[in-house]
Amino acid sequence: MDEKGNVRDAYLQIPELRGFEKFCQGRRAEDMPQITSRICGVCPVAHHTASVKALDDAFGVDPPPTAKKLRELAYCGYMIYDHILHFYFLGGVDFLVSPDAPPSKRNIFGLIEKAGLNIGKEIIKHRAYGQKIVEIIGGKATHPVHGIPGGVSKPLTEEERKEIEKMLKSCLDFARFSVDLFDKFVLKKERYIDMIKSDPYSLKTYNMGLVDDKNRLNFYDGKIRVVDQEGKEVLKFDVRDYQKHIAEHVEEWSYVKFPYLKKMGWKGLKDGKDSGIYRVGPLGRLNASDELATPIANEEFKRMFKELGKPVNSTLAYHWARLIEIIYAAERGLELVNDSEITSKNIRNPVGKPGEGFGAVEAARGVLIHHYKVSEKGLIERANFIVATTSNAGAITMSVRKAAKAMIRNGKIKEGLLNMIEMAFRAYDPCLACASHSLPGGMLLEVDLYDADGKLVKVVRRD
Amino acid sequence: MKQIVVGVGNPILGDDAVGLEVVRRLKGKINAEIKETMTSGFGLLEEILGYDKAMIVDALVTNDKKEVGKVKKFIIKELDSNSLKTPHALSFLDAIGIAKRSGIKEIPKKIVVVGILVNEIDFKERISEEVKKAIPRAVKVVEGEINGF
């Protein structure tokens, strides 16, 4: 705080360990998809897939179309279960119940009270469907083992294909139901729309996402595209060039490195055109896309931008974007499962000599990059990872700062400070364990308030 | 009586893997299905749905180094978990609470957690000596619980 007791700055500290890059050195390259998927229990499919794509590249092999489609299909299942989990159990319920409700109600139990018992069952069922799709294709539920350099290890049978199709159809219905629910409980209420658009919840950063050759979102493959605060494309590059465009800034108060766009440079924790800070994840991706490749999701995409303008700068719109992506994942999955090649047995191409490899995918939380240097013997010499939550680290910190500024005036803390800070960072679905390459753990929320002389004057916490 | 024992742990996080090691030693020795998993929350809940009785074997982190290597047993009773502690993941207890309140009937009637106390969890692939010593004790606790039912 400054002399008057207003917030000068705020920091989100994540006191966890590092060391995963080092842990990977000297390992056999082909073990990387298994090892990296164990970084944390939240997005193993994303790490597995980014890793195997980096290995394709390192071994100079292009997998057959069916292998790529199977990887993408499994990926759709992952996106469905991960987004459902976040929307209904973690972040989205902030809104569905009521942002003003106490934390004991602002959760799935509050939602069941409000929307009925059946919704709980439906949520659990469809989350499990997403996981089941990964299990069928990946061989194991949480940690898939199908990805190997040059392709996948197992084809899809007709029986499995039918089972996945049935589950995806149900997921699509559920995704549409979820959007209707969001419409009814959130978008139809002017107060919430005002809140979504309000300044404390807005940031004008760059937006980043993986797009296909028509600038449409793709979770599995494509080029990395960056658009500016007006929605204009400023960069589009292959993952092989990521180091030309993305650098990482180190702050002494955090273990997390802050990635930024080299072209604009690191200007501190600031938004706007001069600052290289960008956002990834559902909102970053939709902002970076011109349209979506599937019809129902694209209608909803258009509706969101009509309502909120393009690009959307409101952090709370991450929730809406996440729902649109569940629709997209179900629709895209249905396209793939009905593809005539999907049950083909041609699922692997022979690998070449090892070298350097790069792989990028869209993790549920945003662009994920794996980069390996592989020795002649096929061992990992160097591994580097840019994970989604580190890309968002700058934006998350700024969002927390904005919320703190709005809630702390003249040394007095307004009611609801923790709620507001929590909603601001929850929207990003931060996976902080992975961001600092550490282990998953429980989390408490604590706000420490220091006066102008650096003396700790107040601690507000929730265990 | 359908029984299951699930070992929970991460094979690349040192002592966190102890739950996996315990259930590996129980394979073929007890009248229960044995599974290994690295997941928590709903993933773990789904592993045990449909069984009458479930045992979860997992590492428990303690800050008290004198406690390391102790084996503790808990019985999960009526749960009313209301606070979601992390912004990105759901605990096992939360998942059971949600499933119960949603009217899901396949939740085992008895859920027992066997925890092996550990202190340091770090990226490595071996279990420390003091935690290794706890493995036979944990195996006995599980055997006693399954056979004594």
Sign of the alpha-carbon dihedral angle for B59, B61, B66, B67: negative
With beta carbons less than 8 A apart as the criterion, state whether A276 and A292 touch: no
Q: Could you tell me the pLDDT band of residue A42, with boundaries at 50, 70 and 90?
A: low
Distance CA B41, CA B60 (A): 16
Does residue A430 have a pLDDT over 80?
no
More confident residue, A60 or B94: A60
Range in A17-21, A59-63, A175-179 with the lowest mean pLDDT: A17-21
Does residue A353 have a pLDDT over 90?
yes
The amino acid that residue A54 corresponds to is A
Q: B30 vs chain A: nearest CA distance in angstroms?
A: 24
Q: A344 vs chain B: nearest CA distance in angstroms?
A: 30
Does residue A190 have a pLDDT over 60?
yes
With beta carbons less than 8 A apart as the criterion, state whether A130 and A80 touch: yes
More confident residue, A248 or A430: A248
More confident residue, A281 or A91: A281
Q: Could you tell me the pLDDT band of residue A439, with boundaries at 50, 70 and 90?
A: very low
Distance CA B50, CA B52 (A): 7
φ/ψ region of A268 (left if φ > 0, alpha if ψ in -120 to 50, else beta) reads left
Distance CA A70, CA A48 (A): 13
Range in A96-100, A397-401, B12-16 with the lowest mean pLDDT: A96-100
Distance CA B33, CA B49 (A): 13
How many beta-carbon pairs below 8 A join chains A and B? 109
Please report, for residues A147, A148, A380, B28, B91, the alpha-carbon distance to residue A152 in angstroms, rounded to integers and kept in the order given: 5, 5, 21, 32, 32
pLDDT tens-digit profile of A361-393? 999 999 999 999 999 999 999 999 888 888 888
CATH number, domain A62-200+314-349: 1.10.645.10
With beta carbons less than 8 A apart as the criterion, state whether A217 and A209 touch: yes
Helix (H) or strand (E) run with residue A164 in it:
helix A158-182
Q: What pLDDT, on a 0 to 100 scale, did the predictor assign at position A443?
A: 45
Partner residue opposite A142 with nearest CB, options B37, B85, B121: B37
pLDDT tens-digit profile of B8-48? 988 888 898 999 999 999 998 899 999 998 888 888 888 99
Average pLDDT value over all residues in chain A:
88
pLDDT, average across residues A435-440: 36
Report DSSP state, residue A141. Answer: S
Q: A4 vs chain B: nearest CA distance in angstroms?
A: 33
Q: What pLDDT, on a 0 to 100 scale, did the predictor assign at position A441?
A: 38
Residue B119 token pair: 């202190």
Give me the residues of B, 71-100, that contact A with CB < 8 A. Answer: 82-91, 94, 97-99
With beta carbons less than 8 A apart as the criterion, state whether A142 and B37 touch: yes
With beta carbons less than 8 A apart as the criterion, state whether A124 and A131 touch: no
Only one residue has tokens 């909102």, namely: A283
ipTM reported for the complex, 2 dp: 0.75
With beta carbons less than 8 A apart as the criterion, state whether A325 and A289 touch: no
Distance CA A226, CA A210 (A): 9
- Does any CB of chain A come closer than 8 Å to the CB of residue B42? yes
Partner residue opposite B84 with nearest CB, options A90, A121, A431: A90
Distance CA A224, CA A285 (A): 10
Please report, for residues A63, A147, A301, the alpha-carbon distance to residue A150 in angstroms, rounded to integers and kept in the order given: 5, 8, 34
Mean pLDDT by groups of 10 residues along chain B of 149 residues: 92 90 93 89 89 93 87 75 51 82 87 90 86 95 84
Distance CA A260, CA B96 (A): 41
Question: Is A85 in contact with B97 (Cβ distance < 8 A)?
Answer: no
Distance CA B39, CA A107 (A): 22
Q: What pLDDT, on a 0 to 100 scale, did the predictor assign at position A438?
A: 33
Q: What pLDDT, on a 0 to 100 scale, did the predictor assign at position A437?
A: 34
Range in A33-47, A86-100, A253-267, A443-457 with the lowest mean pLDDT: A443-457
Q: B1 vs chain A: nearest CA distance in angstroms?
A: 25
Residues of chain A found within 8 Å of residue B61, distances taken between Cβ atoms: 441
CATH superfamily placement of domain B3-147: HybD-like (3.40.50.1450)
Does residue A175 have a pLDDT over 80?
yes
Residue A368 token pair: 């994920």
- Nearest chain B residue to A143 by CA: give it: B38
- Best A42, A119, A124, A438 residue to mutate vs chain B (most B CBs within 10 Å): A124
pLDDT, average across residues A247-268: 88
Q: Which residues of A176-209 are buried (b: 16+ CB within 10 A; e: fewer)?
A: bebbebbeebbbeeeebbebbbeebbbbebbbbb
Does residue A207 have a pLDDT over 70?
yes
Q: Which residues of A382-409 are buried (b: 16+ CB within 10 A; e: fewer)?
A: ebebbbbbbbbbbbbbbbbbbbbbbbbe
Helix (H) or strand (E) run with residue A331 in it:
helix A318-337
Is A280 exposed, middle or buried (CB count within 10 Å of its CB: 0-12, 13-18, 19+)? buried
Q: What pLDDT, on a 0 to 100 scale, did the predictor assign at position A17?
A: 40
Of residues A69, A78, A14, A83, the one with CA closest to residue A47? A78
pLDDT, average across residues A93-111: 76
Three-state DSSP state, A393: helix
Residues of chain B found within 8 Å of residue A41, distances taken between Cβ atoms: 10, 38-40, 43, 89
More confident residue, A215 or B63: A215
Of residues A330, A375, A382, A333, the one with CA closest to residue A355? A375
Q: What pLDDT, on a 0 to 100 scale, did the predictor assign at position B83?
A: 46
Does residue A165 have a pLDDT over 60?
yes
Question: Is B86 in contact with A431 (Cβ distance < 8 A)?
Answer: no
Q: What pLDDT, on a 0 to 100 scale, did the predictor assign at position A440?
A: 34
DSSP chain B: --EEEEEE--TTBGGGGHHHHHHHTTTTTSSSEEEEE---HHHHHHHHTT-SEEEEEEEEE-S-GGGTT-EEEEEE-S-------SSS---HHHHHHHHHHTT---S-SEEEEEEEEE----SBSS--HHHHTHHHHHHHHHHHHHHT-
Sign of the alpha-carbon dihedral angle for A56, A61, A62, A64: negative
- Does any CB of chain A come closer than 8 Å to the CB of residue B39? yes
Residue A230 token pair: 């007006």
Does residue A322 have a pLDDT over 70?
yes
Distance CA A280, CA A224 (A): 11
Q: B26 vs chain A: nearest CA distance in angstroms?
A: 22
Q: What are the sequence ranges of the domains in chain A? A: 62-200+314-349, 394-462
Does residue A166 have a pLDDT over 60?
yes
Question: Is A109 in contact with B101 (Cβ distance < 8 A)?
Answer: yes
